[in-house]
Structure 1
Amino acid sequence: MRQNITRIQLVMAEVQARIASRAYGPGFRLPSVRAQAQALEVSVSTVVEAYERLAAEGVIASRPGSGFFVAGPVAPLALAKMGPKLDRQVDPLWVSRQSLDAEAATLKPGCGWLPPSWMYEAGVRRALRTLARAESNVLADYATPLGHPGLRQFLSRRLAGNGIQAAPEQIMLTESGTQAIDLICRFLLEPGDTVLVDDPCYFNFHALLKAHRARVVGVPYTPHGPDLEKFEAALREHTPRLYITNSGIHNPTGAALSPAIAHRILKLADISNLVIVEDDIFSDFENTHAPRLAAFDGLARVVHISSFSKTISASVRCGYIATRADWLESLCDLKLATSFGGGQLAAEIILTALTDSGYRRHLENLKRHLTEAMTKTAAKLNALGIKPWLTPQAGMFLWCQLPEGLDAASVARFCLKEGVVLAPGNAFSQSLTASNFLRFNVAQSLDKRIFEVLARALRSP
């Protein structure tokens, strides 16, 4: 009897999950009891009982002779219930929440940001002291629609140093890099459109694209960029609208795009009418600049975005979009519609910090610390049999393979119980083919307790 009740609950949970993810919308006709029984491998009577209970709760409604239909208004969107069912240790949103909600004593080698002491705290403090004497409109008023003119002018010159020609009028400030991608998705995507991402890629790309109801297709990533053969095949098969990538230091692999692959990607994009979103958030970590798609393309098909949350402050939220001039007005309207004018204070802080005489020294020290941390972390992982996929030329991530037969989600679950937050590979993989990989943030991996807990996790049955 208890087994039968459990199966009924499983059928109910399956229907409710599909309603929550909006796979089943209001008025949607549920599969017949026989079809549902066959799909879920339960008896017809189990499905009948589950449907009747859902009807009693008002979740679905019965129409005699027609079947069962979803009742009520559109369900609140539940991103965690969309897409493949993942263990919560590999769910992209859950990985973020674990890191952001962690207590001070929790170790976070799986998070995606630097420790506070590694950020440009001194520059931010100097900026705040300076701005305490600023005019009242800086401290209390909205910014102009495109954002702080001085910061946009500075960014125009900065981008030119990387070969990207973008006038200040082609740059719009945003609250973050994530908001920048969100606005681009609102501008260019309709629900059901296909978007290409690298496999693996930054896991929040997956979550954000789910929120836009996009169809996501992963393209295997190599040490020099996306697999061109698979990339071309995906263009032919899926006719994607967007491709979202990093072309500086790739997250999570640490790889860098080669010039040959960059040129081929742009040629394919031109043939297939593909728009590329290039996230350049790790630019300041580079020792040698990798090619930028936006530099080769001249912002014709490439939208270039970035922010300052990795090198200056994650607390001072400020990012930007650089794009073709004829797209900027519509993007600006979307920004006003979704967040209104933005703030002046964050942009003032960022500009003051970037133009501070200490910022260059801060970056030099930061890159030196990251190089040292990369070497130490790789050695400690190697001693445990955890091998980096490649040795990055710069940056803060190591994409590592576990010893054969070990599952990253199981290792993460063990470590989480002992106060260590890891980032398992399948959180980054659209195809879920990275179950034996972990991403390590070397700046957050200097505590020896991490490796003691990892060693126990690797020995655990």
Structure 2
Amino acid sequence: MDTQSKIEIVMKQIKSQIANQRFVAGARLPSVRRLAQEMQFSISTVVEAYARLVTEGVLEARAGSGFYVKGQAQPQKVITANNFQYDREINPLWISRQSLDANDAMLKPGCGWLPPEWMPESSLRKALKQAAKSSVKMLVEYPIPHGHAGLRQWIARRNAQYEINVDPSQILITDSGTQSIDLIFRVHLQAGDVILVDDPCYFNFQALIQAHHLQAIAIPFTAQGPDVEKFEQALQYQPKLYLTNSGIHNPTGATLSIQRAYQVAKLAEQANLLIVEDDIFSEFEYLPAPRYSTLMGFNQVIQIGSFSKTLTASLRCGYIVSNPQDIEQYIDLKIATNFSSGHLNAEIIYSALMDSQYVKHIESLKKKLNNSMSICIQRLRQLGIEPVLIPKAGIFLWCHLPEQLDAAELTRRCLQRGLILAPGHAFSQSANAKHLMRFNVAQCINPKVFDILAEEMNTFCHDSA
């Protein structure tokens, strides 16, 4: 039994005794030493339990006298799971809201992260302990403007595998990949500016575009990368920026080909178009895909990323890689709006990355995902759901539903059964998006996912007949 659970036992017993009127309002509780002897716990455990009860407003401490019941104990408000708004418009933020609001009983094949049991818990706990032993400066002071030096060095070394030479001074640590995009948009764009995005694309890209009041031209994304003809046609509207995934594409799982990368890079260079490539899924790759930053350098390409998919989404931490001049602008804006990044988060992330188990963890994830991908494809095909393409790696399957099914309506039905899905039009405005859906293969390991899908698909078809 750990110390934390002992503290909770003491607190629970005292609350129970107050509720049963053994200790009424104003009553003095047993001394710390006496209660410790009675419960055979350490004095420090009881001291901590009493202190927490004071913080909760259950007890009050009187100097030199002891601890007393503080008036009539107020019943604590029970926080229940949010009621899902089934009739809410399924917009780019809908999937995120449903997935984040979901309780533990909900199944989430529509979310964008791995199951908790797949994450490196032991490495994170070890990193937390190491962080607790850090210097006082690490624990209480603001970090340097660029952010954690060791983490920036790790990012620079990792870029070397793509034959990208990066100096740590070209890297800025942020609070998340989303904050990175927000900073980039604020520095380089103004409301009304035109940018290019993939179709389909990560739904939060669309949310950020709306928040910044930008005009987006959607470029169809094929199995090899963006449609070159459509990309070239869109350049007549003088877009300022192209936002895309490098490595593994979200939601299609496609991989940019070297030929397509060269074609797009040449067009972007001629049009003086800035490319922002989100590298968040790179650790899932078996073979590195081409990077625009490799072909064009950081005068025209910005790389962003985070560690939420492979380590933890709880400790928010991201980064931007760019040229030194732009990094200075991002730093100034970051100081003006957020002052600094979560240095302690970065320290914990860095410790986990440097742990000897990290490489083994990544290799284990790849094997699990490869196995889950095969099983998921098989189970979906049994339901008449066909992948648009078979990804080389990653966590997503972009799928065609049977023509008679509407993805948004199926999503609403399944949500009422405790199943969160990701319908196509959250990622795309194209006409056929209503028959498309993204599946997270790591979140499809529970057979109930396919049981509920099968039942609701049958019901949908019956109701539509």
Q: Output one character per residue of 1:232-281: Cα deviation in whole Å (capped at 9) or x when no partner.
A: 01111x21111100120000000000011111111111111110000000
Shift, 1:89, TM fit: 5.4
Structure 2 distance, partners of 1:357, 1:333, is 36
State the shift of 1:300 in Å: 2.0
Instruction: Identify the residue that residue 49 of structure 2 maps to in structure 1.
Output: none
Q: What residue in structure 2 maps to residue 333 of structure 1?
A: 332
Cα distance, 1:457 vs. partner?
1.7
Q: Deviations over 1:344-377 (max 9, x none)?
A: 1111111111111000000011110001110111
CA distance in 2, matches of 1:200, 1:273: 24
2:360 paired with 1:353: no
4+ aligned runs moved over 6 Å, structure 1: none
The root-mean-square deviation of aligned C-alpha atoms, in Å, is 1.3
Aligned residue runs from structure 1 range 136-151, under 5 A:
136-151=136-151
Question: Are 1:220 and 2:220 an aligned pair?
Answer: yes
Name the counterpart of 2:386: 387
1:225 shift after superposition: 0.2
User: Cα offset for 1:296?
Assistant: 1.1
TM alignment of 1:56-205, pairs within 5 A: 88=88, 90-205=90-205
CA contact (8 A) 1:175 1:317 kept: yes
Residue in 1 that maps onto 2:260:
261
Who is 2:240 aligned against? 241
Equivalent residue letter for 2:227: D
Q: Tell me if the contact between 1:254 and 1:395 (Cα under 8 Å) persists in the aligned partners.
A: yes
Tell me which amino acid in the other structure corresponds to 1:406.
L
Alpha-carbon contact 1:217-1:430 (below 8 Å) kept = no
What count of residue pairs does the alignment treat as equivalent?
Answer: 375
Aligned AA (1:221): F
Q: 1:316-337, CA deviations, whole angstroms, 9 ceiling, x for partnerless residues?
A: 1111000011111111101111
Matched with 1:63 is: none
Matches of 1:318 and 1:120, distance apart in 2: 16
CA contact (8 A) 1:304 1:323 kept: yes
Q: CA deviation at 1:397?
A: 0.3
Residue 444 of structure 1 corresponds to: 443
Judging changes above 3 Å, is the alpha-carbon distance between structure 1 residues 164 and 430 closer, same or farther for their aligned structure 2 residues?
farther
The alpha-carbon deviation at position 405 of structure 1 amounts to 2.0
Q: 1:247, 1:153 → 2: CA distance? A: 21
3-state SS of 2:251 partner: coil
- 1:150-207 per-residue CA deviation (whole Å, 9 max, x = no partner) reads 1111211111122222110100000000000010000111000011100000000000
Deviation at 1:433, TM superposition (A): 3.7
**1:136 Cα deviation after fit:** 1.2
Question: Is this contact kept in 1: 2:317–2:342, CA < 8 A?
Answer: no
CA contact (8 A) 2:386 2:400 kept: yes
2:304 equivalent to 1:289: no
TM-superposed deviation, 1:432: 5.1
Paired residue secondary structure (1:126): helix
Q: TM-score, normalised by structure 2?
A: 0.79
Shift of 1:418: 0.4
Tell me the distance in 1 between the aligned counterparts of 2:138 and 2:116: 26
TM-score by length of 1: 0.80
| CA distance in structure 1 between the partners assigned to 2:276 and 2:414 by the alignment | 35
Rg larger for: 2
User: Is 1:251 equivalent to 2:250 in the alignment?
Assistant: yes
Cα distance in structure 2, aligned partners of 1:351 and 1:254: 28
The amino acid that maps onto 2:90 is V
Q: Which residue of 1 aligns with 2:375?
A: 376
What amino acid is aligned across from residue 318 of structure 2 in structure 1? G
CA distances 1:295-320 after superposition (whole Å, capped 9, x unpaired): 11111211001000000000111110
Distance 1:298 1:430 in 2: 32
Aligned to 2:45: none
- Structure 1 regions of 5+ residues with no counterpart? 1-86
Contact map agreement 1:253 1:397 (CA 8 A) in 2 = yes
Quote how far apart the aligned CAs of 1:343 are.
Answer: 2.1
Superposed CA offset, 1:100-150 (max 9, x none): 000110000000001111112211111111121111121122111110111
- Find the counterpart in structure 1 of residue 305 from structure 2: 306
User: Which position in structure 2 is the counterpart of 1:401?
Assistant: 400
Structure 2 residue matching 1:106: 3-state secondary structure: coil
Structure 2 Cα separation of the partners of residues 121 and 146 of structure 1? 28
Counterpart residue identity of residue 346, structure 1: N
Cα deviation, residue 455, structure 1: 0.7
